[in-house]
Amino acid sequence: MIAAFRVDSSSIIGAGHVIRCLSLAKALRKNGVECVFVSRDHEGNLAQSIREGGFETMLLPTDNCPSVGVGSTPGLSRWVGTSWQQDAEDTRAALEKYKINWLIVDHYGLDWKWEERLRETGANLLVIDDIADRRHVCDLLLDQNVPDKTGAYRKLVPPHCGIMSGPRYALLDPSYADFHHQVGSRRGMVQRILVYFGGGRYATLMQQALYAIAELRPEISVDAVIGQSDPSFGTSSPLANLRFHSKLPTLAPLMASADLAIGASGTSSWERCCLGLPGVVVTVAENQEPIAEELARLGIVVNLGNADGLTKEKFVIALKPLLTEKLDASWSARCLALVDGRGAERITGYMLLGPKTPLRLRRADADDEALLLRWVNDPLTRHVSLTSAHVTETEHHEWFARRLANSRDCMILIAETHSGLPVGQVRFERGEANWEISFNLDPLCRGKGAGIRTVRMAVETFWEEHPSALLSGVVKVDNLASRAIFSRMGFSEAALSDGIVTFISSKP
């Protein structure tokens, strides 16, 4: 299997898009997928870093035609460096020698017209986006940020498109997942600070932050990370224990050893959260503003707002209570709870899921509560359910607790891949005459042959414990997918009334 990435970086675009694509490429490679990159040859691009990661990288020229693009935001459209038609042709030509199975696009300047042209290659399409400002014709869409924009994306993608939304899908280097379970909650006085504003030219921000720290705690240890396009800093320093770093393969070790971070509210937000690192953030791009605001609301960061209005004095005001008082351990704990570092692993599982992917069953436990609530409130699931009302968190908690406590009359089985990716659930509840069966899949697993296998495995497991039980299930007439599964399982249609079909199993 071959996956191709269309992603750009530059001194203006920054490094975040490439960094997160590299994280996904590493996870795919670990699962036997060959990955190649296509990028335009912008000034300050990270093509060499991609190649050093072991991935072939093809650079597109920047002088094909005038800088016009396709996105709905004109400034971001210019990031393409050419017309959408030219970029599509350049990309197709670069990939002509490959049989691409998946095309991953991470570019604010490309939309459905470009994607439709590339779909002609027969590849599945994954779009990585943050801003929900344009249409897409993709099979999967990823927005790893907050706040949740699933509702907005649902209006911009085809009905079959699976939407992966939120930090549980954050694309991080595998080293972050490794450190996630090793670091503890930060508490007490801050002894070490990490300063990193991304891969762009943020020398002024760096200087403001360093001089603010020096004014408050000149003896404190500071690690400052600069991008390869940053100008070199002089030998003089406002801090006695300051170390500069550049071209690091990952920031995970520095984050794991720090007590506080100062940086931009971009991709590194999820890296900091994964390692439980409290952060003071600024926004260096418009799309970072809602992320910073939501993280501040959740108590994850201190948000200083847009970088354009910042001064050393504002840094001093924000940092003073953090550097002169002890940190509350709950701050770090909130960060750790938000991101576990397994986002790339989850996305890879969905991309590679197919009719032959091995599945296994396990009993549901208390840790599955949030998972099942997310599945049950999927719009399509609600539409085909007998009751279409949204299920509240309180309602679901009470319902789920009762089911787990009554294992004699209720069995809930979770199907998952051998890597632990949950695929769907099947529930059996004792009724007056028969046991009632119901099931639903993770929305991201529909259409991949997992439904019938999940139900068949679950029914076989159920009958091992209840060999003489009859099963019955009820579905809406227009729920064609569930009706097909019941029919393929050998259930017979016993009744049709008021738009509801009842299925009865034959004896096991």
pLDDT given at position 495: 82
Query: Over 80: is that where the pLDDT of 329 sits?
Result: yes
Q: Confirm or reject CATH 3.40.50.11190 for domain 2-165, answering yes or no.
A: yes
Can you tell me whether residue 122 is helix, strand or coil? Answer: coil
Flag whether the pTM goes above 0.95.
no
Q: Report pLDDT digits (tens) over 473-496.
A: 999 999 999 999 999 999 999 888
Cis peptide before 249 (omega within 30 of 0): no
pLDDT given at position 507: 73
Give the ranges where 9-46 is alpha helix by DSSP (H): 16-30
Higher pLDDT, 507 or 182: 182
Cis peptide before 147 (omega within 30 of 0): yes
Mean pLDDT of the chain: 93
- Do domains 2-165 and 175-338 share one topology? The answer is yes
Eight-state DSSP code of residue 493: E
pLDDT given at position 285: 87
Of 427, 445, 425, residue with least CA distance to 435: 427
Question: Exposure of 403 by Cβ count < 10 A (0-12 exposed, 13-18 middle, 19+ buried)?
Answer: middle
Whole-angstrom Cα distance, residue 46 to residue 247?
Answer: 10
Q: Report pLDDT digits (tens) over 51-62.
A: 999 999 999 998
Can you tell me whether residue 411 is helix, strand or coil? Answer: strand
Of 376, 499, 489, 505, residue with least CA distance to 435: 505
Predicted confidence band at 37 (pLDDT cuts at 50, 70, 90)? very high
Whole-angstrom Cα distance, residue 425 to residue 24?
Answer: 27
Predicted confidence band at 228 (pLDDT cuts at 50, 70, 90)? low
Radius of gyration of the chain (CA): 25
Those residues with Cβ within 8 angstroms of residue 403's Cβ, 6 or more apart along the chain or in another chain: 410, 412, 427, 429
Eight-state DSSP code of residue 499: T
Q: Tokens 């019955």 — which residue? A: 472
Whole-angstrom Cα distance, residue 14 to residue 284?
Answer: 10
pLDDT given at position 66: 42
Query: Over 70: is that where the pLDDT of 200 sits?
Result: no
Query: Over 50: is that where the pLDDT of 384 sits?
Result: yes
pLDDT given at position 58: 98
Give the ranges where 410-501 is alpha helix by DSSP (H): 450-465, 480-488
Query: Over 70: is that where the pLDDT of 400 sits?
Result: yes
Q: Report pLDDT digits (tens) over 118-177.
A: 999 999 999 999 999 999 999 999 999 999 999 999 999 999 999 999 999 999 999 999
460 is in an annotated binding site: no
pLDDT given at position 167: 96
Query: Over 70: is that where the pLDDT of 500 sits?
Result: yes
Q: Which residues pair with 244 in a beta bridge?
A: 224
Query: How many C-beta neighbours within 10 Å does residue 158 have?
Result: 12
* CA distances for 214 relative to 312, 316, 318, 320, 322, angstroms: 11, 9, 14, 11, 14
Eight-state DSSP code of residue 198: -
Q: Report pLDDT digits (tens) over 341-351.
A: 999 999 999 99
- 466 given a catalytic annotation: no
Whole-angstrom Cα distance, residue 165 to residue 160?
Answer: 16
For 120-198, strand residue ranges (E) read 124-128, 140-143, 162-165, 192-196
pLDDT given at position 68: 38
Predicted confidence band at 230 (pLDDT cuts at 50, 70, 90)? low
Query: Over 60: is that where the pLDDT of 71 sits?
Result: no
* Conformation bin of residue 502: beta by default, left when phi > 0, alpha when psi is -120 to 50: beta
- What residue segments make up the domains of the chain, in order of their start? 2-165, 175-338, 356-504
Query: Over 90: is that where the pLDDT of 446 sits?
Result: yes
Could you tell me how many residues make up the chain? Answer: 508
Which tokens go with 301? 């960061």
Which tokens go with 501? 């079909």
CATH class of residue range 175-338: alpha beta
User: For domain 356-504, which CATH number applies: 3.40.630.30, 2.40.37.10, 2.60.120.620, 1.10.10.60?
Assistant: 3.40.630.30
- Say if residues 20 and 171 touch (Cβ distance below 8 Å): yes
Those residues with Cβ within 8 angstroms of residue 415's Cβ, 6 or more apart along the chain or in another chain: 359, 360, 361, 422, 423, 424, 425, 426, 450, 453, 454, 457, 458
Predicted confidence band at 431 (pLDDT cuts at 50, 70, 90)? very high
Q: Tokens 């300051």 — which residue? A: 242
- Mean pLDDT over 242-256 rounds to 93
Q: Report pLDDT digits (tens) over 91-131.
A: 999 999 999 999 999 999 999 999 999 999 999 999 999 99
Of 3-17, 25-39, 217-231, 332-346, where does mean pLDDT reach its minimum? 217-231
Which tokens go with 190? 């801050």
Whole-angstrom Cα distance, residue 159 to residue 181?
Answer: 38
Predicted confidence band at 78 (pLDDT cuts at 50, 70, 90)? confident
The catalytically annotated residue of 17, 42, 107, 136 is: 17
- HEC-encoded secondary structure of 74-108: HHHHHHHCCCHHHHHHHHHHHCCCCCCCEEEEECC
